[in-house]
Chain A
Amino acid sequence: MVIGSGPIVIGQAAEFDYAGSQACRSLREEGLEVVLVNSNPATIMTDVSMADRVYIEPLTLEFCERIIRQESPDALLPSLGGQTGLNLASDLAREGVLDKYGVRLLGTPLEAIRKAEDREAFRELMREIKEPVPESWIVNSMDELRAILPKVPYPCIIRPAFTLGGTGGGIAHDEEELLQIGEQGLHLSPVHQILVERSLLGWKEIEYEVMRDSADNCITICNMENVDPMGVHTGDSIVVAPSQTLSDIEYHILRSASLKIIRALGIEGGCNVQLAVNPNGYDYYVIEVNPRVSRSSALASKATGYPIARVSAKVAIGKTLDQIENAVTKTTKACFEPALDYCVVKIPRWPFDKFESGNRTLTTQMKATGEVMAIDRSFEGALIKAVRGLEVSRKALVPTGFEELSEPDLEVKVAVPTDERLWALSEAFRRGWSVERVNDLSKIDPWFLHKIRRIAVGEYEPPEPNVFKMVDTCAGEFESRTPYYYGTRGDSDDYIPSEGQAVLVLGSGPIRIGQGIEFDYSCVHCAWALHDAGCRSIILNNNPETVSTDFDTGDALYFDPVTAEDALRVIRHEKCVGVMLQFGGQTAINLASALDDAGVPILGTSREAIERAEDRERFDEMLEKLRILRPPGKGVRGLEEALQVARKIGFPVLVRPSFVLGGRAMEIVHNERELVTFMEQAERASEGAPVLVDRYFPGVEAELDAICDGEGALVPGIMEHIERAGVHSGDSMTVYPPVTLDLATQWRMVEIAGQIAQELDVRGLMNIQFVIHEGEVYVLEVNPRASRTVPYISKATSLPMARLATLCALGKKLPELGYGYGLWSPAEGRVVAHGEPSHSPVYAVKAPVFSFQKLALVEPSLGPEMKSTGEVMGLDKTYEAAVYKAILAAGMKVPDAGAALITVRDADKAEAIELARTLAEMGFELYATAGTHRAFSEAGLESRAVCKISEGKPNVLTVVRDKTVNLVINTPSENREAEREAMLIRRACVEFGVPCPTSLDTARALLLAMKLRRDGTEVQCKSLVEYCPDRSSQRTTTPTPAPS
């Protein structure tokens, strides 16, 4: 049994799909039967083909125990599911579940994991083996925290025990800050423990990825040097591999220490060791150890070609490193240390472009949602490549965007690490600041600064790449058979010729809010489908965390930025017959015009169709022609026109920039005053393109994905959003099949899909968003590409959507593939005739997961702008049970009893009364703010009035903080004044782990879950195939892939 890492959150992202998928394949290669559990449907690892049985169930003790009872696995492999998997395995062991069912734990023993993760045990062990650890204090209570305040050297670092990506940690510069951050950290740590530690700000931060097997063979896979010195979480640091400024002795002092540590711990598998190194001496401190595969190990795997997860899985079942093949060279063994003959640079991708209010300062708490990696033969080359691939507004180090900044402001920008520091450094050098001065402020090693300076002042001109070289794990010493390349300038090319017509699949770049792992899922399936169809699948992507950049996902991998120039180089090099860009999200779709202009055949949906769907006027014309309704509205430029249009169509209106991801800078605007404020933001985000102003209908939203072949559309299923219109589709809870939409409405949507597919000649995937207003179906938007919901609906309906879409893009017709046009009915395993109902044996509810805990100052309410980082799926035969499981899997607490604080806007009061009544019937005590309290009283409902924050105590904030209430229902108000206070409440809920739905629809869903739990209704726990029998596999012309 393998435990996955659950939904994507900051600090635990796609790297665990990569690790888990690799591990599942690695274990099955050894002849083992694999049972997998993960709540995240957007992963390759939860594909039915990846394990013998796949459970998409909540990652809780209860469900894992049920699965263990049902499956009686011989062993459990816990070290591949991130911190989530490790914590769950520890819980299963502690609760005696593993013993009870005779399940052996594979890999690193739990005792070793405990020693590595429990701060005190770890320090004790380090003392025993004489490895230095920074002075620190373990704190278990507020009293203990107060006691150490005068003793601690400031600044000091606060690290909560057992949290993801350092959640709740930080740097305190004085007693007051320590008290504040410490309190939050104590709360967020599941064991209520924090570590307060001497700050090593300014020391070098070095990491070693190491591996040990049961025979005590120990190797180093890679070492990495953080460009940002100590003080910034390594996930938020620019990182380079291998280390650049360590001499051989220093390299091996640290390597020897790392190996000594994993030996002392008794690790069996991969492990990450982080060290702080004095830039002016041999001394160092051991900072921490991650006794499992991690984000760093994914990076190290991609940086070196060494498949850490694959080897870790084999080591866990008792193989020794010398018995395992080096899967890249296929001529040597896994027991060696990779040699790099290139330089790797990783730059994190942060969500601050979406969260303008967020605090951009980087600390020990990770904030990045994703990262890019770049490979080149020089540091400058790799750095420039990484910046080009980041897909942020700045495409190079110059212009810096800080040209206007005052000298003192620039000094601050250079000194304080933020997502923009790289450009601040560049600006400083552009102004002629010396490396010494910049080093003094930033503490970044002069070696890196010197290189950045060279780029900034134009001394370094990136040479035009003319060859592709191989990542072969051995610096060319041995022949390698794996086509894993990067572009560079050189004399020779490492190309391995191969059979088949080459097709380029464009990846989706770094993971960000709005473009997540779902797109990588589709890319991977596209690559597999191409391979199975006899093509040579070529992947271009620069995201080191993903399955798509595993060295054997495609027939060849090019690890370079997903830009037109890089794509064209690969296309010419591989003589690609065409490019697939519908699977790589907006990143890939945005390259359509450049590639088309260059004469590259775009396979599937044409550039013309893409533009007709995106260009507002042409889109409106098409809908009019097809007599399809859409909310009235217009693309506008400037405030005047916006006001005009808004007056004409009537408020409220939805305002959004065109061509942006995840509803960035999108807002529902209720009056002219708001429009004035908001238009400015939208125009900025729109970067010159028109801003769309549409009538806002507060109806039910729904969406569908369709597979189209130019003749018609196959609709796997219709998804209904649980929150009504106004909440971004990526943040809505979604249910398949629909629960409130009648058959006629559903068929109207299918009909619309067919019409649009034909009209645009869509070949491949298409997503359409609808709003149902007063019985009419309106189209909100059409995206002729793979959407975020493809993996979810693929799994819910057991249709291999990305595969079928790939074949359609290659020119196949759906009937040839064994399918028809219309609505898919999973229960029958066929398309049903027009007007007939489709039957699903199961309800599939998708729930969003947020990372608000990681992002201080970010407003945690739902709106038209997407904020979630990941998703989970709840499957069951009733809607209620599926909702319950989705909520549970999303990590929301489902309280059985207690007290609820309700504070809603006027428009929601009537509905809120109904919800409050249900809560009261369930025995909840009600608290409400003045207005809501009044409404409740009038409705004869008893509640306690709570005052505003400014009015004294107890107030809305204190009832959350002192745990008087364990549920808060709060809807955003149109009154900005009230909103400021509401945001404080919502932040407090995030920080104190109190569920806080910000839409009444979400609240209603939560209540369903609470009721179901109260009533003790039995929910199911089944493997994916048991829920949704896979009737599609025998229909596809090619078998489901079991990639080797």
Chain B
Amino acid sequence: MKRHLVLEDGTVYSGQPLGADLEVSGEVVFNTGMTGYQEILTDPSYAGQIVTLTYPLIGNYGINDDDFESFRVQAAGLVVGEASEIPSNWRARYTLHDFLRERGVPAIQGLDTRALTLRLRSYGVAMGMITDREPTVALEALRDTPRYGERVFVEEVSTKAPYAWGVEGKEPVDAPSRDYQCKLVVLDLGVKLNILRRFAAEGCRLIVLPHSTPAEEILGWKPDGVVLSPGPGDPRHLKQVAATVNELLGRIPMFGICLGNQMIAHAVGGETFKLKFGHRGSNHPVQDLKTGKVTITSQNHGYAVDPDSLVGTGAEVTQRNLNDGTVEGIEVKEKMAYSIQYHPEAAPGPWDSRPWFHDFLARVGRAGA
């Protein structure tokens, strides 16, 4: 049987079925990381997207019970060169195919992912559909589906009810498993579990709140600081979140990650714009403008903060991408808020920016030894 990836401009890539026998549409993007497909699939920031992995051999180490970044597969679909039939790793529990099937996620393999990647690089990311139907028929259906930029994915991926996270993992909000030196609120726009794990490893207890939680309610938890999580979609849709962040500015230390970075920008009146094909991978160099130091970072974003829009807002650009110069970090000094566009929690990707977790705790005055 043939399976197709149909792009909105009518380009068709044909391959073999992988995962669930379902049809799905979404924004087709690519990630250049060579490991970390399990983390990518379960990262809420990929909601609504069909992820192409540029490394052609995927599934080599299978799917394990640990490396989940949320409680479900978030990506709409997956495009790979070749999915390994026989995974080999001591933690492997399922093959990629079986896992995707069980989770109801369609995928396609056996196509030229480099050809697809070069196309996305040249013409920008595009809407696409994984389908077993005749491509021309599927294309009609694809044109009727809402575009990625029109949907508000944060509503779909954010937690519906508050929960807490400690060293043991998820726990009821009112039953701390032990004493913590610090309490942070995480405003869940699509949080990755490794953000929670990393803060917990630093001795924090985290209260994860729905994205729509009002500022006063957030402060009512009496946290030492607020973390604005990463998340999917166009940040311009999140007017209410931006307003909440704006209310919090100056009242409590805030640390934004990825979408959180963009929300701080919007909160001070800045703007964001869509990148042609985004930054998705484990090898992006980011330069700290003060020290000149470069860090290799894990990235996953399709939108970026417009630096010109920050002029006069009190926010300043602190870090830039070494490749394309886009904004990688901002700070609102007066208001105790700062943020980074990349992922200090990695998962997948390099651990080089892990010190940010400690750094935030130091800023809130709660850093452990």
Binding site for B on A (CB under 8 A): 215-220, 242-252, 255-256, 259, 279-281, 320-322, 332-333, 335-343, 377-379, 435, 445-447, 450, 469, 474-479, 490-492, 494
Contact = CB atoms under 8 A, between A and B. Distances in A.
Contacts of B115: 490-492
Classify chain B: how many residues form its interface, as a range: 35 or more
Given A247-B35, A337-B296, A379-B57, A281 B86 contact: no
Closest 10 CB pairs of A and B: A447-B88, A492-B115, A248-B36, A491-B112, A337-B283, A475-B54, A339-B32, A248-B348, A248-B35, A491-B115
Contact of B322 (A252, A333, A477): A333
Interface stretch (B59-67, B97-105, B127-135, B173-181): B59-67
Interface string B274-291: 000100011111010000
Contact of A247 (B55, B67, B118, B287): B67
Given A252-B349, A332-B323, A279 B90 contact: yes
A556 to B, nearest CB: 18
27 contacts: A216-B293, A220-B350, A242-B34, A244-B57, A245-B61, A249-B66, A249-B67, A252-B349, A255-B350, A259-B352, A321-B294, A332-B322, A339-B34, A339-B281, A339-B283, A341-B32, A341-B54, A341-B114, A377-B56, A377-B82, A446-B86, A447-B60, A447-B84, A476-B114, A477-B54, A490-B112, A494-B114
Nearest to B37: A248
A434 to B, nearest CB: 12
B294 A335 contact: yes
B268 interface: no
B114 A336 contact: no
Contacts of A243: 35
Contacts of B113: 341
B333 interface: no
A248 B82 contact: no
Contact of B323 (A216, A219, A478): A478
A403 to B, nearest CB: 26
A733 to B, nearest CB: 50
B199 interface: no
A333 to B, nearest CB: 5
Contact of B90 (A248, A280, A340, A378): A280
B287 A477 contact: no
Contacts of A490: 112, 114-115
Contacts of A216: 293
Given A336-B322, A343-B57, 12 more contacts: A248-B39, A279-B90, A332-B322, A333-B285, A339-B32, A340-B34, A377-B82, A378-B81, A435-B86, A450-B88, A476-B54, A492-B115
A255 B347 CA distance: 14
A690 B57 CA distance: 47
B33 interface: yes
A333 B283 CA distance: 12
A251 B294 CA distance: 21
Nearest to B85: A450
Interface string B323-349: 100000000000000000000001111
A219 B349 contact: no
B352 A494 contact: no
Contacts of A220: 296, 350
B54 A377 contact: no
A341 B55 contact: yes
Interface in B116-161: 117-118, 121
A379 B85 CA distance: 13
B35 A251 contact: yes
B10 to A, nearest CB: 15
Contacts of B348: 248, 252
A475 B112 CA distance: 13
A894 to B, nearest CB: 51
Contact of B88 (A217, A249, A445, A494): A445
A289 B292 CA distance: 28
Given A332-B323, A336-B322, A475 B88 contact: no
B269 interface: no
A248 B64 contact: no
A248 B347 contact: yes
B89 interface: yes
B352 A244 contact: no
Interface string B55-95: 11100110010110000000000000110111111110000
A245 B88 contact: yes
Contact of B281 (A281, A342, A445, A477): A477
A98 to B, nearest CB: 30
B328 to A, nearest CB: 13
B51 to A, nearest CB: 14
Interface string B291-324: 0111010000000000000000000000000110
A243 B35 CA distance: 9
Task: Count chain A CB atoms within 10 A of each CB in B35, B38, B39, B346 and give the residue with the most.
Answer: B35
B228 to A, nearest CB: 25
Nearest to A339: B32
B96 interface: no
A247 B61 contact: yes
B287 A474 contact: no
A447 B86 contact: yes
Contacts of B349: 248, 252
